[in-house]
Amino acid sequence: MTSNLPRPFLLLSFLSLIAAASYEEDATRRTMEEFSGYPTSPHPSALSLSPSSLSVDMVGLQRQIDELAAFSDTPAPSVTRILYSEKDVLARSYIKSLMEEAGLSVREDAVGNIFGRWNGAEAGLAAVATGSHIDAIPYSGKYDGVVGVLGALEAMRVLRRSGFQPRRSLEVIMFTSEEPTRFGISCLGSRLLAGIEAVANALKHVVDGQNNSFFDAAKGAGYDVHQEDLSNMFLTKESYSAFLELHIEQGPILEQEGVSIGIVTAIAAPASIKVEFEGNGGHAGAVLMPARNDAGLAAAELALAVEKHVMESGSIDTVGTVGILELHPGAINSIPSKSHLEIDTRDIDEKRRNTVIEKIQQSATRIAKARGVKLSQFEIVNQDPPALCEGSIINAMEVASQHLNLTHKLMISRAYHDSLFMARVSPMGMIFIPCYKGYSHKPEEYASIEDIANGVKVLALTLAKLSLD
Ligand SMILES: [Zn+2]
C-alpha cells in the first residue's frame, strides 16, 4: 500500500504511527466511541482512529491522478477517454492493479463495472461502497470522477494504515461509462446496477457513431457480454448498506466561500427533451413575410418559452437549457424548413420539474399552431427522479468534517452522478470538494491535492463509521 514510497519515509511513518497509537490509545478510543456511537474495546479489532492517524499520501495520490490522465486520446492537459477505447482498457487495468496493490479483492461485472472489496469482520453483512467513474468526455480534465475512484482507493489505504478493521466489508466501485459520449446513455453502469430495465433494453439496439453495437464494442474491450447478462447485473437493496461518492463540485460555491467540504443533501434530477419543427422553407428574398412558416423562428420562440417556464417555477433550483439548436438547411439565404432543439431541464423537486416539461410541451404545440409549422417531434428522452441523500449519512459526514476540523456546508448537487442511480438501491451520500473556478469538462479543470486529501479523510472516516453501523 505504501510500497511506492522511499524507504526512510516508510519507516518514519511506521514509527510515528506506533508512537501515535500508544500515546493516543485511550483518548482515541473515547473519541471514536463518541464519533461512531459504537462501543470499542481493547480487543485488537477495536477502533484506533483519530484525525492524526489519518494520513493521506498526497504525493502518491497526485502521481496516480497524473498517471491515469496519461491514458488519453488527446494531448495533456486535456483528457479524452471514451468507453471501451484502447485508452479506456489501459486505464481499467491500471485501476485494477491499484486495487490489487491496496489488498482489495477485485472483480468485474459483464459491462466492466469494477469492484475492489476489503472484507470486513462480518463479511456476510451488506457492504459499504464508494466510487465514481474514470471515463472522460472529449477534451475534458483529469479530476471529474477520478477523484472519487483514486480518492476512494486512498481512503482504503488511509484506513489500513491507521489500523482500522471494518465490520461491514468496504468496497470501491469504478462505474462504467458515466458520460454518455459513445452510446448516448449516461451513467450506463450505475443505471444497470440500479436495475433500470429500460437501459438494459436500450443497450440491445444502440450503436455508436461508427455503427458499432454496444455488444461488439464491449467485446473489443475484452467483455464478452450477452443480452441476458445485463439483467443479471441488477443489484438488490440488500447489496449495500450505504453508498458514498467523493467528487469535485463542478461549480464555484466552495471555492468562492472558502469552504473545504460540501455535503450533498440532494441531487437534482435531469430530464431531456428533443423537439423538431417543420415548415415550408423557401427563398429568403422571394417569399414575403406573411407567406412564411419559419421553423427556425418557432424554435427561437420555444427557447424563450423554456426560459420563461423555468423562471415561473418560483424556485432558484429549477433550471432549463436549450443546448442544441440546429436549423436546416442552414444557409443564409434560405428560410429554415426544419429546426431541431434539445432541452435539458432539472430540479430537485420532481413535480415542479415535470410541470415545467408540461408547459414546454403546451408551448411547443401553441407555437406550432400560431406559426403554421408542424411539431414533428416532441420526445422526452429521459425524465429521472431526483435523489435525496440519506439523513444518517449526511450526519456522519458532518460529524467527520467537524472531527477533522474542516469547514463544511450542506449543498445541492446540480450535476448528476452515478449516485443518482445508486440511490435507488442503497442509502446514498456525496462529498464535494472545491475545484478551480468551478471548471469542469474542460482541460482547465483542477482541484488541489490538499483539497482532495481533505475529501479523502472525510470519506475514510465516514466509511469507517458506516462500516461499524
Ligand atoms: Zn463525474
pLDDT digits (tens, 9 = 90+) for 170-200: 999 999 999 999 998 999 999 999 999 999 9
Q: If you measure from the C-alpha of residue 95 to the centroid of ligand 1, how many angstroms do you get, rounded to a whole number?
A: 17
pLDDT digits (tens, 9 = 90+) for 358-379: 999 999 999 999 999 999 999 9
Euclidean distance between CA atoms 112 and 193, whole angstroms: 11
Q: If you measure from the C-alpha of residue 349 to the centroid of ligand 1, how many angstroms do you get, rounded to a whole number?
A: 22
pLDDT value for 297:
98
pLDDT value for 35:
54
Place of cell 417569399: 287
pLDDT value for 34:
54
Q: If you measure from the C-alpha of residue 251 to the centroid of ligand 1, how many angstroms do you get, rounded to a whole number?
A: 12
Q: If you measure from the C-alpha of residue 133 to the centroid of ligand 1, how many angstroms do you get, rounded to a whole number?
A: 6
- Residue pair 171/127 in contact by the 8 Å Cβ criterion: yes
Euclidean distance between CA atoms 10 and 16, whole angstroms: 10
Q: Which of 282, 267, 403, 365 is nearest to 331 (CA)?
A: 282
pLDDT value for 36:
53
pLDDT means per 10 residues, the chain with 469 residues, are 39 35 42 50 45 90 98 97 97 98 97 98 96 96 98 97 95 96 93 94 93 96 93 94 98 97 95 96 97 98 98 95 96 98 94 97 98 97 92 96 96 94 97 96 96 98 95
Q: If you measure from the C-alpha of residue 134 to the centroid of ligand 1, how many angstroms do you get, rounded to a whole number?
A: 8
For the domain spanning 269-383, the CATH number is: 3.30.70.360
Helix (H, G, I), strand (E, B) or coil at 106: strand
pLDDT value for 2:
38
335 forms beta bridges with 282
Distances (CA, A) of 116 to 127, 193, 218, 334, 456: 12, 16, 21, 58, 17
DSSP 198-266: HHHHHHTT-B-TT--BHHHHHHHTT----HHHHHHT---TTSEEEEEEEEE-SSSHHHHHT-SEEEEEE
Contacts of residue 87, Cβ cutoff 8 Å, sequence gap at least 6: 71, 72, 73, 80, 81
pLDDT value for 284:
96
Euclidean distance between CA atoms 147 and 322, whole angstroms: 30
Residue ranges with CB less than 5 Å from ion ligand 1: 144-145
The crossing angle, in degrees rounded to 10, of helices 295-311 and 350-371 is 150
Q: If you measure from the C-alpha of residue 382 to the centroid of ligand 1, how many angstroms do you get, rounded to a whole number?
A: 19
Q: If you measure from the C-alpha of residue 320 to the centroid of ligand 1, how many angstroms do you get, rounded to a whole number?
A: 20
pLDDT digits (tens, 9 = 90+) for 19-46: 343 334 444 444 455 555 544 443 333 2
Q: If you measure from the C-alpha of residue 427 to the centroid of ligand 1, how many angstroms do you get, rounded to a whole number?
A: 19
Domain 49-267+388-468 matches domain 269-383 at the CATH topology level: no
Euclidean distance between CA atoms 182 and 201, whole angstroms: 17
Number of residues written out for the chain: 469
**Whether residue 336 has a cis bond before it, omega within 30° of 0:** no
Euclidean distance between CA atoms 243 and 450, whole angstroms: 24
Query: Around 100, how many Cα atoms within 13 Å sit in the side-chain half-sphere?
Result: 8
Q: Which of 153, 13, 149, 7 is nearest to 71 (CA)?
A: 149
For domain 49-267+388-468, the CATH class is alpha beta
Place of cell 471529474: 144
The crossing angle, in degrees rounded to 10, of helices 86-101 and 146-162 is 10
Helix (H, G, I), strand (E, B) or coil at 111: coil
Euclidean distance between CA atoms 266 and 352, whole angstroms: 15
| Residue ranges of domains in the chain | 49-267+388-468, 269-383
Q: If you measure from the C-alpha of residue 235 to the centroid of ligand 1, how many angstroms do you get, rounded to a whole number?
A: 21
Query: Around 407, how many Cα atoms within 13 Å sit in the side-chain half-sphere?
Result: 8
Q: If you measure from the C-alpha of residue 186 to the centroid of ligand 1, how many angstroms do you get, rounded to a whole number?
A: 10
